[in-house]
Amino acid sequence: MPFRLTPDRRAARMERDLFTAHEGEGKPDMLTANIDGGARGNPGPAGYGVLIRDAKGEKIAELGEYLGHQTNNFAEYSGLLAALRYALEHGHSAMRVISDSELLVKQIKGQYKVKSPGLRELYDAAQDLISGLEYFRIEHALREKNRDADRLANQAMDRGMGRAIGAQPPTAESKELRGIVRDGVVEFLGEKFSEGVMVKIKRARE
């Protein structure tokens, strides 16, 4: 479903942005979407998750998709696009989005510039879709308040990587590793790990 952000629609969007935070909250077709995206390795195996509730707070949809080898930000934007498409394809005119990605939220609000060409394409697509709504609001939440969307994103990554849903990634806890920090990045000496391996780091005693 294509939506183009024409000058008239862009002006209408700017006018809607002047509304108070609670404008549109009482609309009967209002949806609330918790979105999340992640990449194991960043970039690495990536996926997004979206939990959608209706105006009464009832869960009506769970969305998730494996995205292949992508970045965290790509996955976050993919979750937003999936939520917006769901709203428009199901005839809803109002949506509130909750994300734990401060970058995405501030870029959509126009508080941060979108410098990455890859993200710019996703940003433009999101703005096109948003222009098809009568009301749109996006807000930031801490990760612990976005657990359902995080769960769905991890399930999508597990499916794409051929893992049992909910399985814990392998860890390197069973042996001691040595490494060095350069410019804030840990480089392990003589060690290579497959994608998705989790490593715990402890500060060496001086």
CA 149 – CA 98 distance, rounded (Å)? 10
Check residue 202 and give its pLDDT: 65
Residue 2 lies in a domain: no
pTM of the model: 0.73
Answer whether residue 1 is part of any domain.
no
Domain ranges, residue 172: 168-206
Mode of pairing for the β-strands spanning 94-99 and 30-39: parallel
182 vs 111, higher pLDDT: 111
pLDDT tens for residues 35-58? Answer: 999 999 999 999 999 999 999 999
Same domain, 135 and 183: no
**How many structural domains is the chain composed of?**
2
Percent of the chain exceeding pLDDT 90 equals 65
Calpha distance 38→3 (Å, rounded): 26
